[in-house]
Structure formats: structure tokens, C-alpha cells
Structure 1
């Protein structure tokens, strides 16, 4: 919506501006301009109130694996609503859907992950993992082993602890974050940050050396865990270079530091494997999942953990008489029933295989756009990728303009800095991949005709 658009009184647009406090926006700008009202969805497409169709190139928020109108999920939710619309998992209570989903997750996840705890979002899950880590250190008689390592540009949520592990300045400013127990190591962004002549393996070794230097500077006895996304999402779709995770895990093992794999974006097929840990040879102590676990049809997240992580926590709860934590909606029966059905659909329709089969076409399409005057380089794995475009001295200025051009072309993306980031629903077809790439090409052409882009191209 532009500032020049007339907004009818009492319309949904007007009421939206009047009453809603929106996340992740400039609130004063929203008061002036409003936002795009999405009315319905169908497969990989969503439609606004005027009926214009858009490819949802970010699957909502990296999350809708099965498309936007999967009737099976609606039917399962309705059936569960009729049978048991809500129950909790406090005070020695349980119900079937959460038990069934926990069992399924253990079956399909790396075999050393044997226990599951449910929450309602990735932020909640990562926040709780931090609390669990501190609880576990106390259980082990290590009261000083509490620091958490995140990565610059890493994203783990917006709650106080998870937002502190996050390494994005915008998530810290004026919130009094990060907490002082949270420290950050370097971003493994090889295309942007490698030294002249440095191979990917050499770059990865340098990232591991920087991590070890941080650990030694802070004191290994004070550091409990490191959080990392196998592929960094909200930091700009940063794909780890060769040897990165092998080198990082070796350092963590050397100093007895836990590894938390944040698979909130990567999990359930996004990278061409059920979990990205399989792609990169990661053996985490804890794996956090959300988003595609239910295609975000219901709020749901799951923390999977090893016996070595779980047992000290269980022992401490026995000593104290309770693990004094829980959310009203933890393991919600409707959410977990939908999550289980969603995973069944992913398996039955081989959507993990679809991501693997379409990877070459998707990534080659992005590489083909690198020759455009406005483009720099592309990156990705499976069905998650990004195209870096030429920007101005003000990082993100060109990205936002590109995002607007893409919206005109009927493609919704996320501009992160000056990168066009893509993560389409896993039900996307080969023809629709081509449709998406063509839309990016047209939008880049339109972008190149703007005054801002002309000035950048003239300076190049």
C-alpha cells in the first residue's frame, strides 16, 4: 500500500491501522501507509483483498511446507476440536496427540535425540533451552558454566534470552539486550568475508580459530553452550562453507560445550533432507524445531534432546520435587494433532525429495540472475536461497526498493539487507520455480530503471 492510496473509512485497512500494533515494522510509518491485507491462500499463492495473486516466496515466514489451503490439516484440527479442544501437560497429565507427535519426532530425528518438549514458537523454545542449560549446569555442580555463544547475524527469536543469543543489532536496540551472559562469534559468510585467495576450508578453519579464541578469552569453564542455525535464515540465508560445522564441533567438544542446532527454519525438508543436521554432519545435544512442523497452521515448536542433556535436568527436578517451568499451551492437542498430520503429508508426498529434486533448478535459476546489472551473487541449498543485489552506502535501502518491485510483479519475498531471500512452500513445482525466477528477473529490470539504481550503476 502506498501513501497515495485512499483508505476508505471503516474498511479493514483503516481498522488495521487504528487498532493493531504490528510486529517488525516502523510503527509510525505503518500509521501513515498501512500494509498489504492478505485475504486467502491456495497452494504456493496468496491473494490480497482486490484478488491479486502473489507467489508466497517466503512460505509466510519460512514456514508453510504444504501450501496455504491443505484441507487435511483443517479436517484434523476440526476433529480434534470436537474431541478434546484443549488440555495441558502439567501435573502428571498427558493426551494422545502430543504423545503421538513426540514419538514420531523421535523416530524421524537423529537417533541420539530421545526426548521431546513442546512449546508454541521458536522464540519460546530457544528461550526455554537457555533456561534448561542453566538448570543443567547447576545440576552438574557447575554454577559458573552459564555463558551462551551465538553468532553475529544469527537469529534465535525475540524473547529476552533468545533475543540475546540472536546476533542482529536491530533486535537489541532500546530493548536493553543482549543479556551479559550472551557472547557472539563470527558469521560464516564466505562470499562476503573471505580473505583474498582463501579457500572455503581455510575460511572455516579461521572461523573455528576465532571461536576458540573467544572461548579461551572468556574462560571455557564459564561457557555452557553454543547456538547455531545450520543455515542462517534471518541473517540473510548464509550457507555454511565447506568444513565449517566439522571444525566448529571439534572446538566445542574440546572444551565440553553443548551445541544447540536451531532447525526452526531448516527442519522438515527445507534443505533437501528431513533435517539440515543431516546435510552438514551436525550432531547436536539439542535440536529446536518449529514453523514447518505444522506448516504454521497452528503455533507449535518442539525441543528434541539427547539423554546426556536430559538426565541431569531430570535428576535435578527429582531433587527439587519439580521442573518448575511450563506454558499453558505446551503440547496443545489441536496443535500437536495438526503437526502430526503435517509430517504425514510431508512424508506421503515426498516433499523432502521434492526440495532435493528441485534444488539444482532453483539454485541455477538464481545463478542465472547473477548476470543482471543489479545482481552480485547468489547462494542457497534445497529450497532456501538468496540473491545479493547492488546496494548503496545505506545497507538495505536497495533491498527494500527491490522488495517493492517484486511485490508489483506478484512475488512476496523477504529483503534482508540488500539480499532477496526466498523460501517457497515445499509443494512448489518445477514450473512454479521458473515462474518465481522470471518474476525476479522482471523486478530487477524495473529496479534498474529507478533513479536510485541508476545512480548506483553509474558509479559502478
Structure 2
């Protein structure tokens, strides 16, 4: 074990890591990246099949983003947006982002992470309803297995047990409804349309049981990411939004993973016909090169925030690094590249091959469902394809498969429920898609053989 590995074990505290195991095995140290590939400190090359953490859309060596950062560092390395101050990168980015934003977004509030954007959304929701004279309307509904960050408030909306157990979460005011995953949660003989209707009906009953006067917002990822890459039934969001409108409940789209072309449209909202009141975005906003996120709001929200800030003397909410000029400059250049290279059309051209290779893996006895849209996908691993029975969690079948993939030069992510998440950079080529799935096919076959041998 090298010196860097020993220092990491001694001093670095890693998120989403079994700390006891880490003391024994240490880190995989990533040393450099180029295109869709990264290299570890031993010189081994990996195709990054998750784009880092769902974020590195333009690959690991885009020179224009490095140049944008260097130029802005030289011109103005830091300023803020408190108390009427602004910078040219903030102004230009807000203008460009809202030009392509889902309608009817009209204002952008910049932060440093998707978690912060969700936290700001929660605070704005409460501020909004207090300003409307609705002080009881504060509860926010998310979906089981939904991921909405790791702050105390956002982590309460993230309805994944690992993120809440022994953290004393969720907080009051945060409630959860059904997961829109037909394969895992559809009933025997139930069509996808019937499944969507049942979930919308259950949402309505939840609102009624809580009291419509207490429910403020519903937040959802167009496609669930960390919860298992769950793609919703075609009519799901239409049915859900009808319920929300009926009870004056805000629709919040969490586009942190789906935003900027991932699903074959600029926004997941467009793929699934969502008309949001607020939108969060991050990750691919800067291709992951620097920390930045945005909360976008409609005039419906802004008009009340404006009156509230007038009442109190200022909008009492903001972050030191929100609207950081270097992050904004890199994000602006990222959006320019998306436009110049027609990234959405590129995803549409690549998606059929990606989804074809993904679907082919469903032939394995290990794979219950292969699902996805655009350039995001997942394999759900099961013990019995007929009953959809899952493996005991302690067997860690998903983690075993991900480790096998790594041995074959491919990074994928094992998600809760033995789901393998795949989300490569959007610059991936047809040949690299085949390389990705060739390696994944071998990993699936090896894991299948291990399972059969152990049976």
C-alpha cells in the first residue's frame, strides 16, 4: 500500500463509504482523466460509466472549460451577489440559463450544489406561503426512493433508508408517497396506465389525510437517479399534476441529474410533460468541473418573494459562494458548448444504440429489468425473474457486479436494491457505448456464474 493510500486511510473521511472496510482496503485513487476515461494512480484506465456522479457531461478534458476558469480567475476570482452586487458571469449565466429553462421559469438563484438548491426551494416554499397568508401550508411531499440532497431538510425528502437511519431524519413537514417504478411496484395484472392512476389516487388521498391546507409542494426527479433510475409511466406526471393543481400544491422538478440533455431533451420536464413552479439544477450545469447549482422560479413565486423582501427589508437567504464568478463562467461556457454541439440532438442519435445494448442484458437470468431513457439506464438484479424476488441485501450482488465491471475497466454504480446505474458522459461515441456494454456484459456473466456456483 502506497504512502497516499495510507494517508487517505489515516485522515480523509469518505461519504457513502463503509468506514471499517475502507480502513482495510483503502481508496481507489483517480489521478487523471481524458474524454470518457479516467486513470488510477497505478496507471489502470477506466471508462467512466457514471460520469463521476451523474455530472461529467463533456468528459474529463474539455479545454474550453479549463480556459474559462483560468480567464475568470485572472479577471475576478471572487465576488458575491448580496446586497445588489453582481458580476458579468452571474448576469450572463442567468440570462442564458433562463433562455433554455422550462417554462415558466423567470428568475435564477445560484448556489453551489443540488443539496443547497433543494434547501433553498424548501425555504422559498415556506416563505411563499407565509407571504400568501397560508402559515399552515408547509408540508412537502417527495417519493420513496427519491433523492433530493443531504442537508437536514433535503435529506428529509431523500426517502432512502441509508440516508436517514440514525441521522434522526426525516424532519416533520416532510412526507412521502409512492415510487413511480412500475417493474418493482406494479401489481400483478396491473397495466402501467392503471399503475399511474393508482399512484395519483394515493397521492390525492395522502393530501386529503394530511389536510390540503397543510400541503405546500410536491418534489420529484423526472427520472429517479440514486433511487434506482426509475422511469415513470407515460401518463404519471399528467395525472399527478392534476391532483396538485386541484389542491394548490406547488410542482417542483428536481432536474439535478436529468437537466441538460440527459433524457434526450434539454430537460426531463420536457420528456415527461411537467409544468413546474420551481426547478433545481446542478451537476451537468458545469459538466461537474466546478461546484454550482441553480434554483429557478416562476413569476408566481417571485412576486410573493418580492413582497416578502419588501416587508422584511431584504430576502434573508443566500450563500457565500452562491453565484461564484468562476463557477458561473465555467457554467456559461458549458451551456455554450451544449448549444454549439447540439448536445440534445447528439443524445437522441446515441440513445437507440445505448438503450439497445442495455435492453440486451435483460436476457441474463440475473437481470429482472433493464430500463432507461436517453443516455441514462439501469439494470435491476433479481434472484427470480418470474417472481421478481430480490437477493438478500447482505449478499451485495449489485456491489459484486460493480466490482467485476471495475476489473474490466468500467465504472458503474451499485445503487440500493441491487440496481446498477449507468450514466456516461454525453460526449461518448457509438464505439465507446459498445465498449461500455461489452465490459458490462462480461461483468454480468461473471456475476451470474458466481451466483449459480454459490447456489
Q: TM-score range by the shorter chain?
A: over 0.9
Which residue is equivalent to 2:399?
400
For residues 395 and 237 of structure 1, the distance between their equivalents in structure 2, rounded to whole angstroms, comes to 22
Which residue is equivalent to 1:419?
419
Is 1:221 the counterpart of 2:213 in the alignment? Answer: yes
SS in 2 for 1:431: helix
Q: Is the 8 A contact 1:396 1:418 kept in 2?
A: no
Moved more, 353-362 or 177-186: 353-362
Which residue of 119, 126, 143 corresponds with 1:127?
119
User: 1:393 deviation in Å?
Assistant: 2.1
Which residue is equivalent to 1:409?
408
Which residue is equivalent to 1:118?
110
Is 1:441 the counterpart of 2:441 in the alignment? Answer: yes
User: 1:453 deviation in Å?
Assistant: 4.5
Q: Is the 8 A contact 1:188 1:241 kept in 2?
A: yes
For residues 202 and 320 of structure 1, the distance between their equivalents in structure 2, rounded to whole angstroms, comes to 48
Q: Is the 8 A contact 2:234 2:272 kept in 1?
A: no
For residues 112 and 396 of structure 1, the distance between their equivalents in structure 2, rounded to whole angstroms, comes to 47
For residues 396 and 83 of structure 1, the distance between their equivalents in structure 2, rounded to whole angstroms, comes to 54
SS in 2 for 1:160: coil
Which residue is equivalent to 2:164?
172
SS in 1 for 2:175: strand
Is 1:205 the counterpart of 2:204 in the alignment? Answer: no
Which residue is equivalent to 1:42?
34
For residues 242 and 352 of structure 1, the distance between their equivalents in structure 2, rounded to whole angstroms, comes to 20
Moved more, 68-77 or 347-356: 347-356
Q: Is the 8 A contact 1:390 1:398 kept in 2?
A: no
Q: Is the 8 A contact 1:225 1:260 kept in 2?
A: yes
For residues 4 and 53 of structure 2, the distance between their equivalents in structure 1, rounded to whole angstroms, comes to 22
1:50-199 residue pairs with structure 2 within 5 A?
A: 50-199=42-191
Is 1:371 the counterpart of 2:363 in the alignment? Answer: yes
For residues 370 and 446 of structure 2, the distance between their equivalents in structure 1, rounded to whole angstroms, comes to 19
User: 1:82 deviation in Å?
Assistant: 0.3
Gaps of 5+ in 2: 384-390
User: 1:169 deviation in Å?
Assistant: 1.1
Gaps of 5+ in 1: 1-6
For residues 452 and 147 of structure 2, the distance between their equivalents in structure 1, rounded to whole angstroms, comes to 30
Listed one character per residue, the Cα deviations across residues 239-266 of structure 1 (whole Å, up to 9, x for unaligned) are 0012100000000000000011000000
Which residue is equivalent to 1:3?
none
RMSD: 1.0
Q: Is the 8 A contact 2:103 2:275 kept in 1?
A: no
SS in 1 for 2:393: coil
Which residue is equivalent to 1:280?
272
SS in 2 for 1:148: strand
Which residue is equivalent to 2:388?
none
For residues 428 and 213 of structure 2, the distance between their equivalents in structure 1, rounded to whole angstroms, comes to 47
Spell out structure 1 runs of 4+ moving beyond 3 A. none
Listed one character per residue, the Cα deviations across residues 330-350 of structure 1 (whole Å, up to 9, x for unaligned) are 100000000000111111112
SS in 1 for 2:216: strand
For residues 449 and 92 of structure 1, the distance between their equivalents in structure 2, rounded to whole angstroms, comes to 63
Q: Is the 8 A contact 1:395 1:418 kept in 2?
A: no
SS in 2 for 1:124: helix
Listed one character per residue, the Cα deviations across residues 327-384 of structure 1 (whole Å, up to 9, x for unaligned) are 0001000000000001111111122111111111111111111112322210000000
1:232-311 residue pairs with structure 2 within 5 A?
A: 232-311=224-303
Does the C-alpha gap of structure 1 residues 147 and 396 become closer, same or farther in structure 2, counting only changes over 3 Å? farther
For residues 42 and 310 of structure 1, the distance between their equivalents in structure 2, rounded to whole angstroms, comes to 42
Q: Is the 8 A contact 2:108 2:294 kept in 1?
A: yes
For residues 302 and 394 of structure 1, the distance between their equivalents in structure 2, rounded to whole angstroms, comes to 36
Which TM-score applies when normalising by structure 2?
Answer: 0.97
For residues 351 and 170 of structure 2, the distance between their equivalents in structure 1, rounded to whole angstroms, comes to 36
Q: Is the 8 A contact 1:54 1:411 kept in 2?
A: yes
Which residue is equivalent to 2:387?
none
For residues 269 and 105 of structure 1, the distance between their equivalents in structure 2, rounded to whole angstroms, comes to 13
User: 1:396 deviation in Å?
Assistant: 6.7
SS in 2 for 1:404: helix
When the two structures are aligned, how many residues end up with a matched partner? Answer: 447
For residues 430 and 361 of structure 2, the distance between their equivalents in structure 1, rounded to whole angstroms, comes to 17
User: 1:171 deviation in Å?
Assistant: 0.8
Does the C-alpha gap of structure 1 residues 317 and 400 become closer, same or farther in structure 2, counting only changes over 3 Å? same
SS in 1 for 2:359: helix
